Structure 1
Amino acid sequence: METQNKLQKVLLEEKDPEKQELFVHELNTVSDSLIYTINDLSKDFHESNDYDRISEYVIDFKRSADRLSTIKRQFLKLGSYDLIGKQIIDMKSYVKSYFKVSPHRSKISDNITDKEFGIEVDVFEFAVLLDNLITNAADNGADEINFSFEDDTSTLLISSDTAPIKIQPVQDIFELGISSKEYGTGVGLYIVKEICDEYGWGINVEEKEKYVIFKIAMKGVENAD
């Protein structure tokens, strides 16, 4: 724990631009290598009809790769957020700040109000959830990705102009191994559902005209069980 705390202090306080650039470069290399390897594994095992047997390993690899990817994009941007463990954050301000480091930020808009909504999460786990939803929309050709929040129901909505959903029934997109891409891992949205389950959040998806809408019913710190 002492070593972790020292590492955390160094990461948050180190201001040497060259060291920061090197750190990001190394994270980028490792995370990209993992992602490419996972995609190759998925394609190979799909073709050999042996995907079910190794799916749990793909999940672990994919989740770790996602965490590395979000750490890579965020560690210079986190500011007041700790690097280790769960903490209470203002979900709305975190989501808005996350857009700034997303590679798909040009497609993202939001109608989220400034009224605070506190949740207790591991920020990197929450970033993995956001990243997978945004990447899923982008991979399906989205030109518009919009975030909004219903204060009266504590529901986060993520919509994109990617209807119709190729998977039917639509709720099956959260199932392991289900992908709209020929050799997709079928893990991204499964991990989203898994993270929601960990925090006791309900998630569903629906289609409305040209839009696919994900709805996540959250439990805030004031109304959590």
Structure 2
Amino acid sequence: MPTSTYPSQTKHSIFWPFHSKLASADYTGQYWCSLYYFNIYRILLGSSLLISVWKFELTSFGSHHYTLFLYAGLSHVVCSCISLLLIKLRTPGFSWQLAIQVICDIVFFTIMLHASGGLQSGLGAILLISLAAAGLISRGRLALFFASIATISLLLQETYSLLTVNYYSAQYSQAGLLSMAYFAVAWLAHQLAKHTLASEQLAKERGIDLANMSQVNQLVIQDLQEGVLVVDKHGVIRQHNSYADKLLDLRSSANDTKSLKLSDYAPDIAERLKRWQGDSKMNFDLLRLTHSHALVRTRFLPIQADFSNGVVVFLEDMGRIQAQLQQLKLAAVGRLTANIAHEIRNPLSAINHAAELLEEEQQENHTNPRLVHIICDNTRRLNKIVQDVLQLNRRNIPKPDILESHDFIKKFLEEFCDVEKIDRDVFVFQNTNKYLVSFDRDHLAQILWNLCRNAWRHCRKQAGSVLIELSTTTNGHNVCLNIIDDGPGVDPQQVKEIFEPFFTTADGGTGLGLYVARELCETNQSSLDYIEDSSSGHFRIILSCSEPCR
């Protein structure tokens, strides 16, 4: 058997539904609105008939019984007005009100039909409009029932006129044709209502599917591990996901997303968007966000080709990708360090021991002391490289402590200058507040040691050559630790390479100091960057506060 096109469509009875569960359906405002306009039509129709008979004295209406016609017309208008009030009160129920109103039309128009001399007055055709409207309003539930009542009333009127009016010729053939028209109109209204219900059901199902798809899309967007911004053509952020809140701190900026202007809260991204709209093939470097200091890659996707509906901005957090790469890198470094410990350190120990023996016997064997020193120096250099590489494998086990930054840095500088034999006046520490930061104590000491050693190597080695200062970020949730020396700074062509392993410009350097320092920062949920807009050497560490900075 063929299945229904709309399997979920509710089937309604076209006869009397008051005792079924369908009668208790929750009618929407659309049903009541249709019933309201139907009553407006009834009032206008009844008033027009009364005015046409009373004012213009048309002989075709009320020709048989003028007073009865006026009383019937007036009663019809009064009932219509009362029905209009009951619709506002919505009592009794919708089906009862519709049935009462249509039956009142049938009764009063049948009386006026009798008062006008029967079917030749033409009033019987008026019921066609009422039956059609009632069938459409009720969605076909009562259409044939109303047609049956109208047919019975029409036949009873003809029979009553035949029995009570002298010389009246009953027109049953015309009554039968008009009754067939009643049923035809009712059936057409029923069919039209059935298709209307099917269309409404289909539209409802499509609406539900669309709402579900919208919810799924919203969940997917909210769960994306990258920020998503929807920006209109005026540069206003219309929508954003939770990850964008985290990256740009939008939630604390404004409660109303319509008031968020991209240029106010993310000017760097707004500038990139403007440039991209001029040239959609333009590629951008990674961007360090001001609020969260996260390193992101920006991508722009127009909603329409002409940008009229705005742009979707994707902020891909490179920190998450770097964390995944770091896991792979740590596994490789672990295997490398294990091989280094067994394959390189043991020969280095033997070479170093042999060099020491040569140094003790150099006078007896007339060995050149310079060659012995070269062997020892390079052995120590290789051993330091091994120690630095071994340290990489231990960086994934941070033990964060709550450190008071001012006291920690002050004690560190004293220890560093004492061990490295450096004048304490070379380092100037500026800080007026005490910030509590969460960081591994040993890791922070190693990072500062590498950075301060670099600063000492490249500065002018005068009093105040190296400046160390603490300040808060714009969002007040992080601390900036700046290490600035008065040296020439890093060559712009080498800025992208200074954090690469084994890259060095210093004689005798291992090229792992800055690399290890950045790795340790990332392990402790911090960042280390070189500030290029400075005329001297300037490194900045962004530390996480354990409580809001003040």
TM-score with structure 1 length normalisation? 0.60
TM-aligned CA deviation for residue 128 of structure 1: 0.5
Name 2:466's counterpart in structure 1. 145
Give the match's secondary structure for 2:502.
coil
User: Contact 2:459/2:485 (CA < 8 Å) preserved in 1?
Assistant: no
Name 2:265's counterpart in structure 1. none
TM-aligned CA deviation for residue 36 of structure 1: 7.1
CA distance in 1 between partners of 2:379 and 2:545 (Å)? 37
Name 1:91's counterpart in structure 2. 405
**214-223 or 166-175: which moved more?**
166-175
* Cα distance, 1:175–1:58 mapped onto 2, change above 3 Å: farther
User: Contact 1:155/1:215 (CA < 8 Å) preserved in 2?
Assistant: yes
User: Contact 1:38/1:61 (CA < 8 Å) preserved in 2?
Assistant: no
**Which of 497, 500, 503 does residue 178 from structure 1 map onto?**
503
Q: In the TM superposition, what whole-angstrom CA distance separates every residue of 1:3-56 from its partner, at most 9, and x where no partner exists?
A: xxxxxxxxxxxxxxxxxxxxxxxxxxxxxxxx97452468xxxxxxxxxxxx7x
CA distance in 1 between partners of 2:399 and 2:378 (Å)? 28
Alignment size in residue pairs: 157
User: Contact 1:170/1:206 (CA < 8 Å) preserved in 2?
Assistant: no
Larger strand proportion, structure 1 or 2?
1
For 2:381, give the aligned amino acid: N
User: Contact 1:161/1:212 (CA < 8 Å) preserved in 2?
Assistant: yes
CA distance in 2 between partners of 1:87 and 1:157 (Å)? 21
For 2:442, give the aligned amino acid: F
CA distance in 1 between partners of 2:535 and 2:472 (Å)? 25
Structure ID, larger Rg: 2
**Which of 409, 428, 441 does residue 123 from structure 1 map onto?**
441
For 1:59, give the aligned amino acid: D
User: Contact 1:203/1:215 (CA < 8 Å) preserved in 2?
Assistant: yes
For 1:110, give the aligned amino acid: F
For 1:107, give the aligned amino acid: V
For 2:443, give the aligned amino acid: E
TM-aligned CA deviation for residue 157 of structure 1: 0.6
Asked if 1:200 corresponds to 2:510, the answer is no
**209-218 or 125-134: which moved more?**
209-218
TM-aligned CA deviation for residue 142 of structure 1: 4.0
Name 2:308's counterpart in structure 1. none
CA distance in 1 between partners of 2:467 and 2:451 (Å)? 11
Where does structure 1 lack aligned partners over 5 or more consecutive residues? 1-34, 43-54, 65-83
User: Contact 1:201/1:217 (CA < 8 Å) preserved in 2?
Assistant: yes
TM-aligned CA deviation for residue 202 of structure 1: 1.9
The 5 Å alignment of 1:46-85 reads: 57=386, 59-61=388-390, 85=399
Name 2:381's counterpart in structure 1. 39
For 1:127, give the aligned amino acid: A
Which structure has more relative contact order (CA 8 Å, sep 6+)? It is 1
User: Contact 2:458/2:488 (CA < 8 Å) preserved in 1?
Assistant: no
User: Contact 2:468/2:482 (CA < 8 Å) preserved in 1?
Assistant: yes
Q: Calculate the aligned-residue CA RMSD, in Å.
A: 3.0
For 1:150, give the aligned amino acid: S
* Cα distance, 1:197–1:209 mapped onto 2, change above 3 Å: closer
Give the match's secondary structure for 1:128.
helix
Taking only the aligned residue pairs, the percentage that are identical comes to 21
CA distance in 1 between partners of 2:383 and 2:491 (Å)? 23
Q: In the TM superposition, what whole-angstrom CA distance separates every residue of 1:57-112 from its partner, at most 9, and x where no partner exists?
A: 45335679xxxxxxxxxxxxxxxxxxx94321111221122111122333100111
CA distance in 1 between partners of 2:387 and 2:530 (Å)? 24
**Which of 532, 535, 538 does residue 213 from structure 1 map onto?**
538
User: Contact 2:459/2:466 (CA < 8 Å) preserved in 1?
Assistant: no
TM-aligned CA deviation for residue 182 of structure 1: 3.8
**Which of 106, 129, 132 does residue 425 from structure 2 map onto?**
106
Q: In the TM superposition, what whole-angstrom CA distance separates every residue of 1:130-152 from its partner, at most 9, and x where no partner exists?
A: 10000011122442111111224
